[in-house]
Structure 1
């Protein structure tokens, strides 16, 4: 760990393929309530001094721009937490700061995550006027009993109303649903997903519930007080998800993300393709390419500690480490094999033989879990449900 910025000249230079995509991630860590399944860096806090936090975000952006100057921003993503708790002026401050430090592509995708409560939905038109052109709604479920169990503050009707409003306000929208929820059946999910698909505007993120360590859901499950669908039912729910989305024309371009051609999340593709992005805000993780050297960055999780450090030093980082060729190649495999398109092995900054067990990869190819076409390696539809096991097998 390093609480000060690591000079590029003191880091080992690493190989990298040239690309033009460059993203900016902005983390807003505050929520109205903490969901019991969530392990993101989010905090319930009343009376946030938004102007102060927005000014700090702008200052940290200036520091990041000094490290990666002369780039053109192709995507911006406000994540959280609950970014739709930001007032419009704060969003404008951040977007103005980005535009003041970098060129912004006229076609840049600018996404803001939102919760579909009626109060937040009313902000949509203000966000659009500020420059946001895509919204990602945390719907999570379309029945009120499940929403209450998940700790959500909106109803199913409010969620669908927010989706409808978003479709009339923004050029592009997405929304999330969680499946394999407590007591969920295959028939319930089939009906719920069919309803959701009738409202989609081209992109959906569909996640199986994961019991993350340290969350209330994980503790309840360990105590025998929370029952979730078993592995067989989970596999069936996954199959139904693929079936219905495929029939609706929303291909699974990533393990949990479905889109019509052209509606893929351009910002998330930056992550999955191993392209550079600057990240600001409490707990934000970034990947900077500084004078040919890749750096992994992470800011302090605690919002007040982050805030005071930014005001004192210009950044809130507690991790700023160079990434060598082997570590970067492994990361590119971990992220890239999530994509339907797979990974071009020649683009790895280290020889594939240094990180991939060829014998294991060949065996999984024979079994139909991997596919190799020339230079490209990808996980097949058969392999996707067991992606983590595939990765454990092939990575040295």
Structure 2
């Protein structure tokens, strides 16, 4: 698989809890304006493709595309289609590709959504967050539940798949408030729902209010109870968990998200976007290595690099075999398909071969029995008779602890 992520850094306003790389100004300099943004991203695509070919990377046609932000739908639908058309021209797009954009319910209407469908989009993810007015106010969200419903209906009519994002744990949100939000999302008839625990960053408006004592701090036990509520209600509605924070009807999982958890190659475009490549050639018969890179965060500096004909990376790093092993464990223990024990033991052997001093050791299924008895994981065999470690609901709630214990078993 090869995926493309496009970050759109513009927003109408910044929500009080948001710590993403987003900006409210229309023009951020060096060509990074709302009106010219699509042209800049297309140029970055061309530079990125040239870099790939120069480093021995010949990607297959794109399997998934995801426009995130920020608010991608603050741009015109024609701009989003222009960027998608450029991806099709530069890399090619698989006939059954999944093409998604995030959308603020305030910024789309039936005409906009129809234009996306005509341009090749297949999926739209609405930032619903909550169905309770006072919770939306706490989150500084301006849309209403009616906006979300109208957007989902328009997407249904246009033949697009719909997803909604929810956030739980906002100050002042009761358990009943959360049940209302989950049930409202289910009643929309969407085939995919994401539910994320609120993360409070100290530099945000909400973080400062919590530090000043004018808002209560989110409570871990409250968030755990809300996760259990979400899992129960969504499972009862026919949406199965496939990643810690994501539920879908069978066959409607986000292929783009799963690509991240499976550690495939992806190109990240736009200020602050990250890229990942599993096999990069440095030339001169050097061994291939995995690479992670990230774009310059500020749009003006990002735009300056593009105008100078440079891939606008702020930095990059080689992923060592040991780091790759850690990532495989962390990512595999977040998804329903689980952690392939054979793949992990292969990665352990690879890491030991590079650096024999690393205290790594293969994991035997019997070593996992204490976690099975504690109800943290189950051991399953897949169709290829591969042994997989799958977290239970309790294991998902204590995911960091499960990961640490598997690290310990592997000697990471």
Fold-level similarity (TM above 0.5): yes
Is 2:336–2:391's contact at 8 Å kept on the other side of the alignment? Answer: yes
Alignment partner of 2:372 out of 346, 365, 373: 365
The corresponding residue for 1:350 is 347
Q: How does 1:197-346 map to 2 (within 5 A)?
A: 197-228=186-217, 230-289=219-278, 290-291=280-281, 292-346=288-342
Q: Report the Cα offset of residue 256 of structure 1.
A: 0.8
Distance 1:164 1:285, change over 3 A: same
Question: Structure 1 CA distance, aligned partners of 2:111 and 2:138?
Answer: 25
* Match for residue 41 of structure 1 among 21, 33, 41: 21
Distance 1:29 1:121 in 2: 24
The yes-or-no answer on 1:381 pairing with 2:385 is no
**CA distance, structure 1, for counterparts of residue 7 and residue 361 of structure 2:** 32
Q: How big is the shift at 1:60?
A: 1.5
Q: Deviations over 1:8-37 (max 9, x none)?
A: xxxxxxxxxxxxx11100010110111111
Aligned structure 1 segments of 4 or more residues deviating by more than 6 angstroms: 355-360
Q: Which deviates more from structure 2 when the two are superposed, residues 146-155 or residues 121-130?
A: 121-130
Q: Which runs of 5+ in 2 are unaligned?
A: 282-287, 350-358, 381-385
Normalised TM-score (structure 2): 0.85
Distance 1:354 1:63, change over 3 A: farther
Q: Which residue of 1 aligns with 2:284?
A: none
Alpha-carbon deviation of 1:285? 0.7
Q: Distance in 2 between matches of 1:202 and 1:303?
A: 34
Cα distance, 1:157 vs. partner?
1.8
Distance 1:232 1:88 in 2: 42
1:63 aligns with 2:69: no
- Shift in alpha-carbon separation, 1:179–1:218, aligned structure 2, 3 A: same
Give matches, 1:73-152, under 5 Å: 73-117=62-106, 122-152=111-141
Per-residue deviation, 1:181 = 1.8
Partners of 1:71 and 1:257 lie apart in 2 by 27
Q: Which moved more, 1:62-71 or 1:293-302?
A: 62-71
* Higher relative contact order, chain-length normalized (CA < 8 Å, sep 6+): 1
Kindly tell me: are residues 205 and 187 of structure 1, through their superposed partners in 2, closer, same or farther at Cα, counting changes over 3 Å?
A: same
Kindly provide the CA deviation profile for residues 23-56 of structure 1, in whole angstroms up to 9, marking residues without a partner as x: 1000101101111111211111125634532222
1:155 aligns with 2:151: no
Distance 1:139 1:368 in 2: 33
Check whether the contact 2:132–2:177 (CA below 8 A) recurs between aligned residues. no
Q: Aligned partners of 2:59, 2:377: CA distance in 1, in Å?
A: 39
Could you say what the CA RMSD is over the residues aligned between the two structures, in angstroms?
A: 2.2
Q: 1:216 to 1:362 in 2, by over 3 A?
A: farther
TM-score, reference length from structure 1: 0.88
Once the two structures are TM-superposed, the CA of residue 121 in structure 1 deviates from its matched residue by 5.8
Alignment: residue pair count: 376
Q: CA deviation at 1:118?
A: 5.4
For 2:82 and 2:39, the matched residues in 1 are separated by 7
- Which of 32, 46, 50 aligns to 2:12? It is 32
